[in-house]
Structure 1
Amino acid sequence: MKTKLLMLACGVMAMSNAVAKETITIATVNNGDMITMKELSNNFEQKYPDISLKWVTLEENILRQRVTTDVATKGGQYDVMTIGTYEVPIWGKQNWLTELNDLGENYDVDDLLPAIRSGLTIDNKLYAAPFYGESSMVMYRTDLMEKAGLEMPKAPTWSFIQKAAKAMTNKEDGVYGLCLRGKAGWGENVALITSMANSFGARWFDENWKPQFNTPQWKETLQYYVDVMKESGPAGSSANGFNENLALFQTGKCGIWIDATVAGAFVTNKKDSEVADKVGFALAPDNGLGKRGNWLWSWTLAIPSSSKKSDAAMKFISWATSKEYSQLVADNKGWAKVPPGTRASLYENEQYMSAAPFAQITLDSINSADPKNPTVKPVPYVGIQFVAIPEFQGIGTAVGQQFSAALTGQMTVEQALNASQRLVERTMRKARYPK
């Protein structure tokens, strides 16, 4: 009888444990670092056996649409969201995010790089934890540069990039001198072209929030972009975002690629990249006006206020953005694959600095980015590759479609800029700017 009662008690306890197990849903983007996080997440589940993880992995533009809809409607589909430096301050002020105030005694918030941490903080409260941070830089084939008889400066100009790209292009062999984002989206082609525009002296708005697309600076920027891509870019580049250009570069099809510093680990990894031992790095280009075309971004993990599992979500975020996670990646993938750009201690680690040839230029690029003073002329907004206002997702995507149309030849540069001017003016009037 006692044995039966004991077995019954054990069965009840097992059922109780099964019921108590909490599942949190994580929405993330389909890039290499996030895929590694998912691969290694069994370590988290071993550490916290009462928590299970459900993953929703999406392409960048789709991820943004879904998490924005969910957080704005308080849908509660996700417990952890992968969002960026653009969303965090806006959503935090609207009380859409949960403050990260219980990340654990060993988390070491003060180790986060100031440039990254400041964009995730409102009134000294942290609303998202950076999974990785990035700026942008030039990646190039050293062998093709040498073959062209040129040497990449550490701090190149846009005119040099055009010259080098033309010299490195061999379309008969399927080698294109320059790969740039062409896929329409505020976080895709607009991020690149806006950063470029800053270095050409352009800006989205003047001090009174009047759109500035009908200016010579914007015309020079977009004309350069269209011309250089027609001259030296791959066919079908209007469909290429970060992942597509990464694949082209890794397979030896790009001479120069200007994009996120986080790509450094992917282009130098011999398992994935056919040109891993032929890659050099340089700062993002400038145009002699005192501003480089580099952005500042962080993919972060945040908890929507609609989540009913914030305690479990907080534990996951603490684990995924900790020093211990960096060590876990190093042990399993090598130091060069550790998510970059978030912690000062990583750049004080000799093992990382010797394993990652892109590490110093990543740190220099992040530290030189100034989102509060992003342009040559004064502006009323914060943000380098974006404008930190709620309306930017809509207008950024719409402008990206005009830029894409100019790239494909469906519109002239002038038509694309005039259309951008009109649609942004219309949106800003409806939103009653200046506030």
Structure 2
Amino acid sequence: MAKITKPLTNTEVKQAKAKDKPYKLFDGAGLVLKVRVNGSKSWLFMYKKPFVTKRAELVFGMYPSISLAEARELRTKANELLSKDIDPKEHKDEFNRQQQETLSNTFEQVAANWFQVKKTEISADYAKDLWRSLELHIFPALGKHPISKITAPLTIDVIKPIAAKGSLETVKRLTQRLNEIMNYAVNTGLIHASPLTGIKAAFKKPEKNHMPTLTPDQLPELMKTISYASIKIVTRCLIEWQLHTMVRPSEAAGAKWSEIDLDNNQWLIPAERMKKKRDHTVPLTKQTIEILERLQPISGHREYLFPADRDPKRHANESTANAALKRMGYHKKLVAHGMRALASTTLNEQGFDGDVIEAALAHIDQNEVRRAYNRAEYLERRRKLMYWWSEHIEQAQTGKLNKYNKGLKIIG
């Protein structure tokens, strides 16, 4: 006949004294109180592992932190797992591992991992702006939260004050970035689904404001204003360089002397500095080479064409041209990026091939076959386009432009 274990009483557990050797008191159904020689007491669960005859022990915890009643509740749960052929010790270890993983996968840590991938696809300046926006607006409130605990209501509460200030463009960018981070968490197996998919619907959409630019017939007035403006030579050269080369503000401001190939009259911008992460070649014209000659005594011995005013070892800020245009009276009339739009409008009106214009602006051709084909063939056609554009700017600058040469059609 099987031996029947008499359940322990609270008094027995409390009064159990230390002996020369550790010993055990049995409560039944696997629950054991182990008393050590130093007098400490711990609850153990003794059982047979599922599918094998091997015996195992699971430590529930110390007495009196865990009472007799609580130890019995833990025993019941462990036996319930065994009835389903689940090893309670392995179950506990897996739960602890998941808890530890949850605590280590904070939103900020996951965002940092996502950013390591994201920054390979964008320019350095944009990457800096992106990360700064998260540090400023998101991490203080959500950074330490486990990624699995991020919810839409919690996130919306964090963004609401930004929307209340009317910074709707910032809200739009933040919701986009938050969704990218959560999608990364889904794709790396940290969460099952993104809880932030629809949070942009909780905020007003920013009004679409077209980037301030000028009409083609306003180019002469712009060149006249630049020529009379009280600005530093480097700033003047930066504005003219960007206007002639049709590149983005960050690409112009970060131009390096090592990127200039005067043997072939080309400016070779590496992929890591381009918005679309693709090498871009800009044919140099007589006018852009003259800008380089003006810069040579100023920065030819340095790394960057346009050194920063305070620290010449660094390049000028991409907002330098914008700030100068604003001081010249072009606030809300023209931004540095708008000079690309001015070039595009002018060249399209003059009848240049739209594909050649798009290639000059470093826009990505979605057709991969055409991209490979255009890279070589369009360079010479782009060179003609760039020559015409520089000549056009020079005519506007010298006052020789006759009402924007209307009616002139040059096919590049």
TM over 0.5: no
TM-score by length of 2: 0.32
TM-score by length of 1: 0.30
Question: Greater share of helix residues, 1 or 2?
Answer: 2
Whose strand fraction is larger, Structure 1's or Structure 2's? 1
With a CA cutoff of 8 Å and minimum separation of 6, indicate the structure with the bigger relative contact order: 1
